[in-house]
Amino acid sequence: MRTIGLLSMGVLLLPAGVTTAQGPAESYQPVATMAQLMVDIIHPASNDILLVINRGGPKDDTEWAALRRNAMTLAESGNLLMMRGRVREGDWIKDAKLLVDVGTAAYKAGQAKDANTLAGLTERVDAACVTCHKQYRPNVHPRTP
């Protein structure tokens, strides 16, 4: 009841870092390096998604929940790559959005427990990684003439 009273008085308490209509409450600063994001977040999430697809899809609620976590991690990782201080020249934003899109599609398939849709995302997950790596990691994926 106290919350209602505070809201009716026009008082709204927001935790630190929460955005408002005016913008971020504080500036967000990257914590991890690009290599750390790739090695510790993006690579494991994408690999776990591909692994579960290659094994025929999630078998029970626990595996579906893990798939949803990995899919959301992949989607939100694309957003992390678009943070100020991480954006690079070229198609960086476009490539990062590929992660957002395929991660979101995998998450929706996970919510619906739709193994067929999930299986159809294999190439998109792979393409999201390879497309970016061809441009920004030529030592891993050499460019073709």
CATH number, domain containing residue 109: 1.20.120
Mean pLDDT for the chain overall: 85
Which of 1-5, 29-33, 71-75 has maximum average pLDDT?
Answer: 71-75
Domain extent at residue 36: 31-136
Tokens of 3: 């919350």
Residue 28 clears pLDDT 90, i.e. is over it: no
> Is the residue at 79 inside a domain?
yes
Task: Indicate the helix (H) or strand (E) that contains 134.
Answer: helix 122-136
- pLDDT tens track for 87-132: 999 999 999 999 999 999 999 999 999 999 999 999 999 999 999 9
pLDDT band at 135 (very low <50, low <70, confident <90, very high): confident
> Is the residue at 42 inside a domain?
yes
- 135/43: higher pLDDT: 43
Residue 22's pLDDT is what?
55
Residue 143's pLDDT is what?
66
DSSP 43-82: HHHHHHHHHHHHTTS--SHHHHHHHHHHHHHHHHHHHHHT
> Is the residue at 2 inside a domain?
no
DSSP 81-96: HTSTTT--SSSHHHHH
pLDDT band at 14 (very low <50, low <70, confident <90, very high): very low
> Is the residue at 1 inside a domain?
no
> Is the residue at 124 inside a domain?
yes
Number of domains in the chain: 1
Residue 2's pLDDT is what?
43
Residue 35 clears pLDDT 60, i.e. is over it: yes
